[in-house]
Amino acid sequence: EIVLTQSPGTLSLSPGERATLSCRASQSVSSNYLAWYQQKPGQAPRLLIYGASSRATGIPDRFSGSGSGTDFTLTISRLEPEDFAVYYCQQYGDSSYTFGQGTKLEIK
């Protein structure tokens, strides 16, 4: 099973700043199979990015994804107050799906 490790565990930034979240896989992942989600307290997760770099419907262009192989990144170019949440990466492989443990993005 492919293990996804997200870093940092918690990221403290201010609105307007740039956020860079990392997701590292224990073995190579096809870019098609890497996605990112946002979850706010008390809410279901929401798909942000799929195929490593494609934005889901309705997702603002300040969110972008990149990477390949074992290293993937979610970047939020200029943080808005509503962006403070927990972010998860997710991969597919061998008829199974795994998530990273999450990065909490909090207001500094």
Partner 1 sequence: EVQLVESGGGLVKPGGSLRLSCAASGFTFSNAWMTWVRQAPGKGLEWVGRIKSKTDGGTTDYAAPVKGRFTISRDDSKNTLYLQMNSLKTEDTAVYYCTTLRRWHFDLWGRGTLVTVSS
Q: Interface with partner 1 by CB under 8 A: which residues? A: 32-33, 35, 37, 39, 43-47, 50-51, 56, 88, 90, 92, 95-102
Measured over the CA atoms of residue 45, residue 57, residue 21 and residue 31, the dihedral's sign is positive
Shortest distance (Å) from residue 27 CB to partner 1:
16
Compute CA distances 7 → 54, 88, 89, 98, whole Å: 21, 10, 11, 16
Least distance to partner 1, CB of residue 101, Å: 5
Nearest CB to partner 1, comparing residues 38 and 84: 38
Separation between Cα atoms, residue 79 and residue 74, nearest integer Å: 13
In the complex, what is the shortest distance from the CB of residue 93 to partner 1, in angstroms, rounded to a whole number?
9
Q: Which is nearer to partner 1, 67 or 102 (CB)?
A: 102
Tell me whether residue 39 or residue 64 sits nearer to partner 1 (CB atom). Answer: 39
Minimum CB distance to partner 1, residue 57 (Å): 9
